[in-house]
């Protein structure tokens, strides 16, 4: 009898639908984009002597990894950087970034930790972190924001060859939690990230922390804060498109 009950429970569990929730880091978990721009402006001044770089110059590189972030501003200013210069700039950028994190607090955006904790505690959810940032840089952010990332699958820029808008990052995260991308929602803040999520076959919720809503129209849902999002919203978004 016990064997039959165990078999029935196994069958019911196998039939239960599981949902994936995948969080980007920069601009989603905390306001790192302000720090990214701040240190990158300093890199252009210190390394290249270019003093008029502003945050908006990096916009085309949002979510695409450190090298593309640097290249975006270089293009705006008509600079042709060698591979060696790009590498030097990204290394210095990370050093400046980590220095700031060691000296200044980095609180999470409202609603982020609450949504994570609810998903982690739900039997029908699996949770992942997926970021183009390096292991060193992204783990520093996660630690500073007190994210329980050790309870999740964690994929970072060191794990992939192709950066956003290529879907590799999110495909790897979905595989890590064992959920079909079609049953996953990615939370993003940048157009490149939205493109990557959609190319992976996932749904996407965009939060307007780094770009205004007009630039995030490819997302399935746009919100101003993750305080507006709950697990029911995630389930509805996935099931209505199944």
Residue 108 · residue 146 · CB < 8 Å: yes
Helices 66-76, 32-48: crossing angle, 10 deg rounding: 60
Band of the pLDDT at 65, cuts 50, 70, 90? confident
- Would residue 7 count as lying in a domain? no
β-pair partners for 26: 30
pLDDT score for 63: 82
Residue 176 · residue 128 · CB < 8 Å: yes
Domain that holds residue 183: 14-31+106-239
Whether 43 and 128 map to the same domain: the answer is no
pLDDT score for 14: 42
pTM (predicted TM-score): 0.85
Whether 192 and 77 map to the same domain: the answer is no
- Peptide bond before residue 133 is cis, with ω within 30 degrees of 0: no
Q: Give the count of domains, the chain.
A: 2
Whether 171 and 92 map to the same domain: the answer is no
pLDDT score for 241: 72
- Work out the mean pLDDT of the chain and round it to a whole number: 92
- Would residue 8 count as lying in a domain? no
Render the burial of 37-76: b for 16+ CB within 10 Å, e for the rest: bebbbebbeeebebeebeeebbbbbbbbbbbbbbbbbbee
pLDDT score for 218: 97
Whether 156 and 206 map to the same domain: the answer is yes
β-pair partners for 204: 186
pLDDT score for 6: 36
Start-to-end CA span in the chain (Å): 36
Band of the pLDDT at 112, cuts 50, 70, 90? very high
pLDDT tens profile 139-177:
999 999 999 999 999 999 999 999 999 999 999 999 999
Q: Is the pLDDT of residue 27 over 70?
A: yes
pLDDT score for 167: 98
β-pair partners for 108: 30
Q: How many residues does the chain have?
A: 242
Q: Is the pLDDT of residue 115 over 80?
A: yes
pLDDT score for 5: 31
% of the chain surpassing 90 pLDDT = 86
Domain endpoint, select from 88, 103, 118: 103
Helices 135-144, 83-103: crossing angle, 10 deg rounding: 20
Q: Is the pLDDT of residue 124 over 70?
A: yes
């Amino acid at each position: 009898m016990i064997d039959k009950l165990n078999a029935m429970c196994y069958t019911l569990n196998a039939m239960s639908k599981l949902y994936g929730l995948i969080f980007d880091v920069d601009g989603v978990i905390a306001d790192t984009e302000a720090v990214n721009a701040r240190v990158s402006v300093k890199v252009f001044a210190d390394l290249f002597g270019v003093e008029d770089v502003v945050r908006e110059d990096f916009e085309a590189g949002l979510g695409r990894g450190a090298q593309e972030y640097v290249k975006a501003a270089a293009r705006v200013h008509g600079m042709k950087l060698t591979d060696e210069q790009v590498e030097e700039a990204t290394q210095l950028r990370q050093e400046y970034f980590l220095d700031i994190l060691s000296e200044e607090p980095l609180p999470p955006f409202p609603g982020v930790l609450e949504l994570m904790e609810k998903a982690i505690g739900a039997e029908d959810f699996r949770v992942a972190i997926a970021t183009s940032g390096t292991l060193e840089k992204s783990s520093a952010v996660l630690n500073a924001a007190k994210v329980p990332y050790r309870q999740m699958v964690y994929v970072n820029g060191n794990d992939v060859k192709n950066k956003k808008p290529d879907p590799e990052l999110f495909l790897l995260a979905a595989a890590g939690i064992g959920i079909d991308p079609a049953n996953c929602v990615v939370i993003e803040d940048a157009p490149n990230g939205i493109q990557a999520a959609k190319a992976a076959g996932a749904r996407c919720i965009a939060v307007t922390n780094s770009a205004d809503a007009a630039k995030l129209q490819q997302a399935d849902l746009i919100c101003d804060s993750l305080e507006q999002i709950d697990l029911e919203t995630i389930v509805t978004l996935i099931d209505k498109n199944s």
